[in-house]
Structure 1
């Protein structure tokens, strides 16, 4: 065994010199805080600062140019200063203010006066270096203008500051004939920027389909209300409901049936748009085959070899401008857009019929767009999740899944917001700790830490940070009834209308597909459903919850709308 080098004393001064030298080697950051500013001085002028989330250390040794791009596609957000962190810690001790259902009604006002960066004008005669300089200059001017327009910079949400990620969006918008905009139905209007709708429909004049994902997490009347809201405010988009994963029911077959029906609805919308200009028969036949295999309970991946000549998945980082040509070479291009953690990767796996892209609850998991061919004449372009500029508070962005929980310095503000909308002590069956007289975010964290055994190693005190992060992850996954959902404007006043709406039968039938064969396993005990695996980033992107049970009569009436009835016609 080789002899290791003896450790020598290492002073703090020498460490600072090394860090300063490394920072100078990287070059100055665009929005980095000046070195003269002191973090200890709370009266120092407020400046903006970018921060690379999930930044990876540079590997030692070789690697060539690959090491230089190790953090090229990481998410970048603005970072809080020390004073803000202390204020957020103090806020965790304040008592909770219970909010009503009417206060959960939201619209798209968070996106008012905010647009998103688009690719600056270009032509094929420009060199790649000139294009790169123009895009960098344009994006810097865009961010500076956006910050100057806001007198209160703190009112601006955490949005994507990485130009490379926006280039992925530009490339997908240019390549695609149809855009699938995936939104989480729990926070639908917070994940659909009106500026993106106007740019796609009016500027690019392309077809857009809104996929309301995770519909099995919310009540069916809420799904109907959101469908009506989008149809009224965005009349030129088509709507499709989808459910990628269910946390309550572990019926794998039911989840697959839900995905297939959602895929078929997307196919019908694409067929209506194509109108015979592209041959979609192979895609339709593939969906029918998947339906038959589902009815026969056949594992396709285990029994059927891959077809010879199947088009492979192509990953690329080429984001140079592209002149769009409708149905280029007779191929329909479908682009997938959306915020992080809305379920785009799970949707693509459902479209393909098998797992072709990895999924994760961690925002920024998809680094760059990739092309997946569903058939010889249909391809899907997957775009990384993008956080658009808005006035959404950061505490709410954490619950949306737009900001990584693992990178959250103080989780109490988000936990306080969750506790004001949901009765966490009752849902989690928590007793009030002896040290507290009323519930607060910190009290809930301590109570959950005692219940789960999250204690510090030395002093055996409750690990508040771990407990708070654990609850936030359960909310993001929809576990243990921790489903925070918002409603469109006027929902509470028209609740009876949505509960008696004709479309309610269709939504109930779709949700019932996952619970046709209920598990014998029960989930009454909180400790049995919340495992320690939620402390780390899970490999499943979407987990959901079915809160309503459709009547058998309603299901029979809606059976004619079930796509599996098509198999009987064959």
Structure 2
């Protein structure tokens, strides 16, 4: 129930406005609240909830409360009702649109004749993502998040879009921001990505993304967007960003890409994330990973399997879904992938593939289920080129009506590294991107600031162990050679010595890093921010003092980001793997004097 603030100004002399002005204010405020590209910065102290309050009890004696003259006469005071359509033409267009969207197969109100055949109950595997536990995880993420990112698959954005979640957020959580992330753009042509971004941007801000630790796309745009939301909620100490969507769309992979390291467990199968998980992106931005959720709908088993909702190894009779796979993929791509020229039906295709791959049973019989699971795994993991054509792709974007234009996140889609080689009609030119040069200049100006701020915020724990000296010279990083097998020893001024042995059990990235250091010039130190010259420990200390005093060479000041890169390069990454090499556990008390009893 709406309440009026107990203030004297509401019950004393006040300014009176007309009904038209009040209705205009109500309309504009409602449009601003519903627009995903607008935010109400400072809500007014007016009792706005009274504008949204609807009459709960119908009036019995309508003519007694509102006479005919007060409603339709020249002295009418009743406001004009808001109608969805203004005329017969708009009503006709709306009805035609609903007829086109209607599907007779998915209409549950029609009584169908089963001809005495009763369908078996649905397999429990097809209920993936619908359990009460997973929905509880989703609601915890929604309640804890200020910004929600719905991750969509670029191959089928509408199929992986949850209309129920969007309606729930609009009605129950209108103060939370929703953004679309179009993931896996490397599996579709760039023009398809451009069209889908333009279509989805009409509803909510949309960012094209390619989750990869080595060659990501859209990472800078997404971080920029999250930083804007952090500035918008300047009154909060931190904001939380929740990732929601279907299973196997890449929610955890996007988080790993934003952090540039593996912080979430990922796998190319559905249901790898079991519970929600908090990850720190920056000092004021936290990410929340969520399990994939599927709203119960009229989707068939084939649609669920091809969307990647169900694990392939749990599917019964996987050969039943191969026909749908062959229908959705162009024959040229199938021939190019599996080297099979012709087939009469899905069973014939599987037999040829079984003979080609060696999946045979006793007597030379083809192992149809195993081969069918191989094809479904290739489908779910993106090895087979496939995409859903965006509606209206025949009409260029420039020829559309001006009234259909919407705000978009400017991105250069030409920089996407497409993993497949498309042919024929799938190859089209990109439409010219407006305001691209302006966006690139703004991004280049903020890129260094974003990188430095994010590094300083992400690596807070590492910075606590680093001395803020302000200068890094030849004395701060000196490399001593002890010969082969002893590795390099780096001495920091005022810190303990840290040994890096070649036998240490580090990850692959660290091994390649130090192997490059050994093969290159030993007088140079390689870090993520660049190459720095260092001085050998064998040189006289007086020479170092002369360099420090300024004789001969001039010192070059390094930025804080470069200093942190040097410190991270020398920091031991895995302490536990070298515990027994550093600590003498067995003979620790050998020389201790025993007290005689």
Q: TM-score, normalised by structure 1?
A: 0.50
1:403 aligns with 2:310: yes
Q: What corresponds to 1:220 in structure 2?
A: 190
In the alignment, the residues of structure 2 paired with residue 203 and residue 360 of structure 1 have an alpha-carbon distance, to the nearest angstrom, of 33
Shift of 1:222: 2.1
Pair 357,497 (structure 1): closer, same or farther in 2 beyond 3 Å: same
Work out the CA distance in 1 between the residues paired with 2:328 and 2:276.
36
Question: What's the counterpart of residue 465 of structure 1?
Answer: 369
Conserved in 1, the CA contact under 8 Å of 2:182 and 2:206? Answer: yes
Partner of 2:277: 370
2:382 matched to 1:483?
Answer: no
Mapped pair 1:241 → 2:197: no
Cα gap change, 1:460 to 1:222, in 2 (>3 Å): same
Whether the 8 Å CA contact 2:186–2:416 is kept in 1: the answer is no
Per-residue deviation, residues 398-437 of structure 1 (Å, max 9, x unmatched): 11110101111111232110111223453433144xxxxx
Which of 225, 239, 246 pairs up with 1:269?
225
Q: Could you tell me which residue of structure 1 aligns to residue 523 of structure 2?
A: none
Higher mean C-alpha displacement, 207-216 vs 447-456: 447-456
Cross-structure match for 1:183: 152
In the alignment, which residue of structure 1 is the partner of 2:242? 335
Q: Which residue of 2 aligns with 1:523?
A: none
Q: 1:161 to 1:342 in 2, by over 3 A?
A: closer
Whole-angstrom distance in 1 between the partners of 2:349 and 2:206: 39
**1:512 corresponds to which of 415, 418, 428:** 415
Q: CA contact under 8 A between 1:331 and 1:379: conserved in structure 2?
A: yes
- Structure-1 separation of matches of 2:164 and 2:184: 24
Distance 1:568 1:196, change over 3 A: closer
CA distance in 1, matches of 2:427, 2:363: 47
1:53-202 matches, cutoff 5 A: 158=127, 160-202=129-171
CA RMSD of aligned residues (A): 3.9
CA deviation profile, 1:317-339 (whole Å, cap 9, x unmatched): xxxxxxxxxx4xx1101111011
CA distance in 1, matches of 2:135, 2:447: 46
Q: Note the residue ranges of structure 1 that are not aligned, 5 or more in a row.
A: 1-105, 115-150, 246-251, 280-326, 433-437, 516-543
1:90 equivalent in structure 2:
none
Counterpart of 1:347? 254
The aligned residue for residue 565 of structure 1 is 444
CA drift of 1:508 comes to 8.7
Q: 1:465 to 1:263 in 2, by over 3 A?
A: same
The 1:224–1:510 alpha-carbon spacing in structure 2 relative to 1, beyond 3 Å, is closer
CA drift of 1:391 comes to 1.5
Determine if contact 2:350/2:372 at 8 Å carries over to the other structure.
yes
Structure 2 counterpart of 1:447: 352
Check the 8 A contact 1:506/1:558 in 2, yes or no.
no
Unaligned runs of 5+ residues in structure 2 are 1-99, 109-117, 450-597
Taking a change above 3 Å as real, the CA distance of residues 449 and 219 of structure 1, as seen in their structure-2 partners, is: same
SS in 1 for 2:396: helix
Deviations 1:43-79 (A, max 9, x none): xxxxxxxxxxxxxxxxxxxxxxxxxxxxxxxxxxxxx
Name the SS of the counterpart of 1:190 in structure 2.
Answer: coil
Which residue number corresponds to residue 39 of structure 1?
none
Match of 2:394 among 491, 495, 499: 495
Deviation at 1:112, TM superposition (A): 8.6
Deviation string for 1:72-95 (max 9, x for gaps)? Answer: xxxxxxxxxxxxxxxxxxxxxxxx
Whether the 8 Å CA contact 2:269–2:311 is kept in 1: the answer is yes
How far apart are residue 388 of structure 1 and its match? 1.6
Report the 3-state secondary structure (helix = DSSP H, G, I; strand = E; otherwise coil) of the residue aligned with 2:389.
coil
Instruction: Tell me the CA shift for residue 465 of structure 1.
Output: 1.4
Following superposition, the deviation at residue 213 of structure 1 comes to 0.6
Shift of 1:374: 1.0
Displacement of 1:565 in angstroms is: 3.0
In the alignment, what sits opposite 1:278? Answer: 234
Residue 419 of structure 1 aligns to a residue in which SS? helix
Displacement of 1:111:
13
CA displacement at 1:350 relative to structure 2: 1.2
C-alpha distance in structure 1 between counterparts of 2:344 and 2:417, whole Å: 36
Report the alpha carbon displacement of residue 569 of structure 1 after superposing the two structures with TM. Answer: 7.5
- Whose radius of gyration is greater, 1 or 2? 2
Cα distance, 1:112–1:173 mapped onto 2, change above 3 Å: farther
Q: 1:273 to 1:369 in 2, by over 3 A?
A: same
| 1:553/1:419 CA distance change after superposition, 3 Å | closer
Higher RCO, Cα 8 Å, sep 6+: 1
Residues in 2 aligned to 1:165 and 1:568: alpha-carbon distance in whole angstroms: 38
Match of 2:77 in 1: none
TM-score by length of 2: 0.48
